[in-house]
């Protein structure tokens, strides 16, 4: 491969058309290739401006009516916004030249499509099928590509390029431009990786909409990045279908959603919803906590059958005859006839509420049959009025009462007999005792639901009425969900597909899964593709080796990622006297924040307040990522409770008292897994400050 050309350049501030002055490098006129590419970039910018001006000149007033005009105006405004030129970046980051046989076409690949006035592409969207070769072509499978060029980019200018000649086998897997992207200091929220997606990642990103994929990957292997880029690719490739059905990203907590929240908008996709499992299961606020045993049991998939029985047991038996007065006559339908209708509705497999709504019509039909047998044929309108008549409504209501999810769960958790009936043969007596409220609230409205209850309420809601399905769901950190939570997410993609991302070794809930087969079964996706990612883009070698000492004790059989980082990173493990701990942390944070890049101070949850006070006393500005607080681009130092660290990354990380982080979990394995998560957040350096001995495997 040709080595990258990285011309030297003075930096000069450059005002841009669309934004504030951005200090940008001047183009290297000495390098004719780069100068030609820079000229193509200017051409692309001109064309994008032309496209924008053309969109701006369109008039929504030509619409047929006010409603259509309003709609058109919104669509035009979105179109104009999507055609804005972001001066901080370039319109393309790569190029492929096809061989003579493949038509010698030259394509510049970028974040969005730009066309010229003849409709010819000036820049091709990275998601278009013809861009695939940029990511995947190799000497063994050149895909018609002769040359692949990657560009180094700095504040909106091209500063370097790197060529691979696939026709000559002149390629390497050590791209300096990729290395520079991976090695860059991290600051602010997560960025897209669109210019450097790797072939194994691209395969996942471009998997068909119908395919559900499960990605197992060690920390920093790009699972989250891949999931988000897959969402963007799917929206591009199946736009009309997914515009209607929707795409959802589910992550572990608010801080994580804030961390990743800018990636899809930066790729032009603003219509993707983001949620945590708790906000997704929108059945009220979490106002209580379960005992570990109760939480475990409520997360157990057996609860699905208990709830199913609880719901359907509410359908009564039609013992008494129904009498419907009409005019001077009374029509009598024996209970056993109504019961046949009830049995038929139950057997139809429709949801409880849908069947309940059908019942009055079915009963009215039985009345109509009797009227017709008497020689009268009154028609459909009469059947409707019989269905809506007071006696039929009351009879149907008694037989098939209206239910809501809270009523179902309240009934189970507060009434020992109801629970015993629904759980017979499924839960033991002891398990039922664990589930039951010791002092039940007086009404369902007064119930203080727990996190695990939300999944049970969701299951009940789906038994009553079908949950609408989205087109695609990206589920991150999926290893942490209970079987009942997995079912809840799965039903939101019942007619769509899923991208399931996770790492068994990072499972830190009591119900964390140890098997993707099992988890995918709970998501109702036995038919999925499992892909393993093992190249680590985040954690440097020294740090991952340290963290990986934990693996044999808490996830035997799972390997650490192979770090692709050039920088081996820095690892400092400082044991200090108890009265020096805060000062040592402050010193470590000061040292870390003296350099470019974000700093995460990860502490046992119970230390957050005291540590924040210590940093404040030492006049170290910092944010707090306690649950519910989001990331903030402007803050260099974030104080992170260990329980919130999952999925985040910082340039430098200071971990405080690993033994206390591990000890805060209910069991040793979960404690070591939490520690593994915490120790694998660093991109450049990790400092561990402790007074207590390190947990066994780390001390070895």
Ligand X SMILES: Nc1ncnc2c1ncn2[C@@H]1O[C@H](COP(=O)(O)OP(=O)(O)OP(=O)(O)O)[C@@H](O)[C@H]1O
109 φ, ψ (degrees, to nearest 5) = -105, 130
Residue located via tokens 């910018």: 45
Residue among 217, 496, 507, 658 that touches ligand X (CB under 6 A): 217
Instruction: State which residue, 225 or 366, has the beta carbon closest to ligand X.
Output: 225
Distance between CA 695 and CA 662 in Å, rounded?
8
Please identify, among the stretches 205-213, 219-227, 274-282, 576-584, the one whose residues bind ligand X according to the rule CB under 6 A. 219-227
Q: Binding site: what residues are annotated?
A: 217-224
Please identify, among the stretches 221-229, 247-255, 391-399, 411-419, the one whose residues bind ligand X according to the rule CB under 6 A. 221-229
Residue among 51, 160, 214, 225 that touches ligand X (CB under 6 A): 225
For residue 338, give the 3-state DSSP assignment. helix
Distance between CA 305 and CA 613 in Å, rounded?
49
Q: Which of 249, 228, 209 is nearest to 478 (CA)?
A: 249
Please identify, among the stretches 189-197, 311-319, 330-338, 393-401, the one whose residues bind ligand X according to the rule CB under 6 A. 189-197
Query: What DSSP character marks residue 598?
Result: -
Please identify, among the stretches 97-105, 215-223, 320-328, 465-473, the one whose residues bind ligand X according to the rule CB under 6 A. 215-223
Q: How far is the CB of 130 from ligand X (least distance, A)?
A: 20
Q: Is 240 exposed, middle or buried (0-12, 13-18, 19+ CB in 10 A)?
A: exposed
Distance between CA 336 and CA 186 in Å, rounded?
72
Residue among 28, 162, 503, 626 that touches ligand X (CB under 6 A): 503
Q: Is 76 exposed, middle or buried (0-12, 13-18, 19+ CB in 10 A)?
A: middle
Structure tokens at 513: 């899964």
For residue 632, give the 3-state DSSP assignment. coil
Contact yes or no for 322/330 (Cβ under 8 A): no
Residue 214 CB partners (closer than 8 Å, separation 6+): 478, 500, 501, 502, 516, 519, 520, 525, 528, 529, 530, 531
Instruction: State which residue, 220 or 483, has the beta carbon closest to ligand X.
Output: 220
Under the criterion CB under 6 A, does residue 223 sit at the interface with ligand X?
yes
Under the criterion CB under 6 A, does residue 197 sit at the interface with ligand X?
yes
Neighbours of 12 (CB within 10 A): 9
Q: How far is the CB of 224 from ligand X (least distance, A)?
A: 3
Strands (E), 101-234: 106-110, 114-115, 121-125, 145-154, 157-165, 213-217
Instruction: State which residue, 7 or 647, has the beta carbon closest to ligand X.
Output: 647
Contact yes or no for 602/681 (Cβ under 8 A): yes
Instruction: State which residue, 411 or 502, has the beta carbon closest to ligand X.
Output: 502
Q: How far is the CB of 222 from ligand X (least distance, A)?
A: 3
Distance between CA 135 and CA 284 in Å, rounded?
45
Q: How far is the CB of 111 from ligand X (least distance, A)?
A: 15
Please identify, among the stretches 71-79, 223-231, 393-401, 618-626, the one whose residues bind ligand X according to the rule CB under 6 A. 223-231
Residue among 38, 90, 201, 563 that touches ligand X (CB under 6 A): 201
Q: How far is the CB of 16 from ligand X (least distance, A)?
A: 26
Residue among 175, 224, 479, 508 that touches ligand X (CB under 6 A): 224
Q: How far is the CB of 151 from ligand X (least distance, A)?
A: 15
Under the criterion CB under 6 A, does residue 196 sit at the interface with ligand X?
yes
Instruction: State which residue, 359 or 654, has the beta carbon closest to ligand X.
Output: 654
Residue 4 CB partners (closer than 8 Å, separation 6+): 152, 160, 161, 162, 176, 177
Contact yes or no for 560/545 (Cβ under 8 A): yes
Instruction: State which residue, 85 or 477, has the beta carbon closest to ligand X.
Output: 477
Please identify, among the stretches 218-226, 285-293, 298-306, 424-432, the one whose residues bind ligand X according to the rule CB under 6 A. 218-226
Distances (CA, A) of 510 to 131, 277, 357: 43, 16, 40
**Angle formed by the axes of helices 451-464 and 292-299, nearest 10°:** 30
**Sheet containing strand 570-575, strands side by side:** 570-575, 682-690, 650-656, 599-603, 637-641, 623-624
Please identify, among the stretches 165-173, 220-228, 345-353, 362-370, the one whose residues bind ligand X according to the rule CB under 6 A. 220-228
Q: Binding site for ATP: what residues are annotated?
A: 217-224
Under the criterion CB under 6 A, does residue 251 sit at the interface with ligand X?
no
Residue 136 CA, distance from chain mean position = 25
Distance between first and last Cα of the chain: 43
Q: How far is the CB of 544 from ligand X (least distance, A)?
A: 11
DSSP string, 505-531: GG--STT--S-HHHHHHHTT-SS-EEE
Residue located via tokens 């759980």: 423
Please identify, among the stretches 6-14, 106-114, 192-200, 410-418, the one whose residues bind ligand X according to the rule CB under 6 A. 192-200
Q: How far is the CB of 178 from ligand X (least distance, A)?
A: 6
Q: Is 405 exposed, middle or buried (0-12, 13-18, 19+ CB in 10 A)?
A: buried
Q: How far is the CB of 649 from ligand X (least distance, A)?
A: 6
Residue among 27, 94, 152, 222 that touches ligand X (CB under 6 A): 222
Distance between CA 573 and CA 688 in Å, rounded?
5
Under the criterion CB under 6 A, does residue 219 sit at the interface with ligand X?
yes
For residue 218, give the 3-state DSSP assignment. coil
Contact yes or no for 543/686 (Cβ under 8 A): yes
Please identify, among the stretches 40-48, 112-120, 222-230, 603-611, the one whose residues bind ligand X according to the rule CB under 6 A. 222-230
Under the criterion CB under 6 A, does residue 649 sit at the interface with ligand X?
yes
Size of the site for ligand X (CB under 6 A): 22
Q: How far is the CB of 175 from ligand X (least distance, A)?
A: 10
Contact yes or no for 432/418 (Cβ under 8 A): no
Residue nearest to ligand X (CB): 222
Residue 398 CA, distance from chain mean position = 43
Instruction: State which residue, 225 or 281, has the beta carbon closest to ligand X.
Output: 225
Instruction: State which residue, 366 or 661, has the beta carbon closest to ligand X.
Output: 661
Instruction: State which residue, 341 or 477, has the beta carbon closest to ligand X.
Output: 477
Q: How far is the CB of 492 from ligand X (least distance, A)?
A: 21
Neighbours of 5 (CB within 10 A): 15
Under the criterion CB under 6 A, does residue 499 sit at the interface with ligand X?
no
Distance between CA 509 and CA 278 in Å, rounded?
14
Instruction: State which residue, 147 or 194, has the beta carbon closest to ligand X.
Output: 194
Under the criterion CB under 6 A, does residue 695 sit at the interface with ligand X?
no
Residue among 221, 389, 582, 670 that touches ligand X (CB under 6 A): 221
Q: What angle do CA 593, 597, 600 make, to 5 degrees?
A: 65
Residue among 647, 671, 685, 695 that touches ligand X (CB under 6 A): 647
Instruction: State which residue, 451 or 681, has the beta carbon closest to ligand X.
Output: 681
Under the criterion CB under 6 A, does residue 182 sit at the interface with ligand X?
yes
Residue among 198, 414, 509, 563 that touches ligand X (CB under 6 A): 198
Residue 151 pairs with which residues in a beta bridge? 161
Residue among 220, 597, 623, 671 that touches ligand X (CB under 6 A): 220
Q: How far is the CB of 179 from ligand X (least distance, A)?
A: 9
Site track 536-555 with ligand X (rule: CB under 6 A), x = hit: -xx-----------------
Strands (E), 304-358: 322-326, 329-333
Residue ranges in 650-689 that form contacts with ligand X under rule CB under 6 A = 680
Instruction: State which residue, 283 or 652, has the beta carbon closest to ligand X.
Output: 652
Binding site for ligand X (CB under 6 A): 181-182, 193, 196-198, 201, 217, 219-225, 503, 506, 537-538, 647, 649, 680
């Amino acid at each position: 491969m040709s080595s990258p050309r990285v011309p030297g350049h003075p930096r000069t501030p450059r005002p841009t058309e669309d934004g504030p002055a951005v200090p940008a490098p001047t183009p290297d006129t000495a390098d004719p290739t780069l100068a030609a590419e820079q000229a193509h970039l200017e051409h692309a910018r001109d064309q994008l401006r032309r496209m924008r001006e053309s969109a701006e000149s369109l008039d929504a007033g030509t619409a047929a009516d006010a409603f259509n005009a309003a709609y058109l105006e919104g669509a035009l405004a979105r179109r104009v916004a999507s055609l804005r030129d972001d001066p901080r970046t370039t319109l393309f980051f790569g190029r492929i030249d096809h061989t003579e046989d493949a038509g010698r076409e030259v394509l510049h690949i970028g974040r969005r499509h730009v066309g010229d006035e003849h409709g010819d592409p000036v820049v091709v969207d990275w998601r278009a099928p013809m861009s695939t070769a940029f990511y995947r072509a190799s000497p063994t499978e050149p895909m018609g590509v002769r040359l692949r060029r990657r560009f180094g980019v700095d504040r909106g200018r091209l500063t370097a390029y790197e060529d691979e000649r696939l026709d000559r086998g002149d390629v390497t897997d050590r791209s300096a431009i990729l290395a520079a992207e991976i090695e860059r200091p991290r600051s602010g929220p997560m960025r897209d990786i669109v210019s450097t997606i790797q072939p194994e990642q691209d395969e996942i990103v471009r998997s068909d909409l119908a395919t559900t994929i499960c990605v197992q990957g060690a920390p920093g292997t790009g699972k989250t990045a891949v999931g988000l880029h897959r969402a963007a690719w799917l929206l591009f490739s199946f736009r009309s279908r997914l515009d209607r059905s929707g795409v959802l990203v589910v992550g572990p907590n608010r801080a994580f959603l804030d961390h990743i929240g800018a990636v899809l908008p930066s790729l032009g996709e603003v219509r993707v919803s983001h949620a945590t499992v708790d906000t997704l299961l929108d059945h009220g606020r979490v106002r209580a906590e379960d005992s570990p045993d109760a939480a475990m049991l409520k997360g157990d998939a057996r609860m699905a059958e208990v709830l199913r029985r609880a719901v359907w047991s509410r359908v009564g038996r039609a013992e008494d005859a129904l009498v419907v007065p009409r005019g001077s006559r009374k029509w009598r339908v024996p209970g056993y006839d109504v019961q046949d209708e009830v049995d038929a509705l139950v057997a139809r497999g429709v949801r409880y509420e849908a069947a309940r709504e059908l019942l009055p019509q079915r009963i009215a039909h039985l009345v109509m049959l009797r009227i017709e047998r008497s020689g009268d044929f009154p028609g459909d309108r009469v059947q409707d009025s019989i269905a809506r008549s007071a006696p039929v409504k009351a009879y149907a209501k008694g037989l098939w009462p209206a239910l809501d999810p809270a009523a179902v769960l309240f009934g189970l958790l507060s009434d020992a007999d109801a629970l015993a009936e629904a759980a017979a043969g499924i839960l033991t007596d002891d398990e039922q005792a664990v589930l039951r409220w010791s002092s039940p609230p007086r009404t369902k409205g007064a119930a203080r639901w727990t996190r695990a209850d939300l999944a049970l309420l969701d299951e009940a809601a789906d038994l009553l009425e079908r949950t609408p399905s989205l087109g695609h769901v990206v589920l991150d950190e999926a290893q942490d969900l209970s079987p009942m939570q997995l079912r809840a997410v799965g039903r939101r993609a019942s007619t769509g597909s899923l991208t399931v991302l996770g790492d068994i070794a990072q499972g830190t809930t009591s119900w964390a899964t140890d098997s993707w087969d099992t988890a995918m079964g709970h998501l109702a996706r036995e038919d999925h593709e499992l892909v393993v990612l093992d190249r680590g883009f985040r954690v440097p070698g020294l740090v991952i080796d340290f963290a990986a000492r934990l693996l044999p004790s808490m996830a035997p059989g799972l390997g650490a990622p192979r770090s692709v980082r050039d920088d081996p990173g820095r690892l400092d493990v400082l044991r200090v006297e108890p009265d020096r701990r805060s000062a040592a942390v402050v010193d470590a944070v000061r040292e870390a924040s003296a350099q470019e890049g974000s700093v995460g101070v990860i502490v046992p949850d119970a230390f957050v307040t005291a540590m924040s006070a210590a940093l404040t006393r030492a006049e170290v500005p910092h944010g707090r990522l306690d649950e519910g607080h989001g990331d903030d681009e402007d803050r260099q130092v974030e104080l992170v409770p260990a329980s919130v660290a999952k999925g985040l990354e910082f340039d430098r990380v200071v971990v405080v008292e690993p033994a206390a982080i591990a000890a805060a979990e209910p069991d040793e394995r979960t404690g070591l897994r939490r520690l593994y998560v915490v120790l694998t957040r660093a991109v450049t350096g990790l400092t561990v400050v402790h007074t207590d001995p390190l947990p066994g495997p780390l001390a070895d």
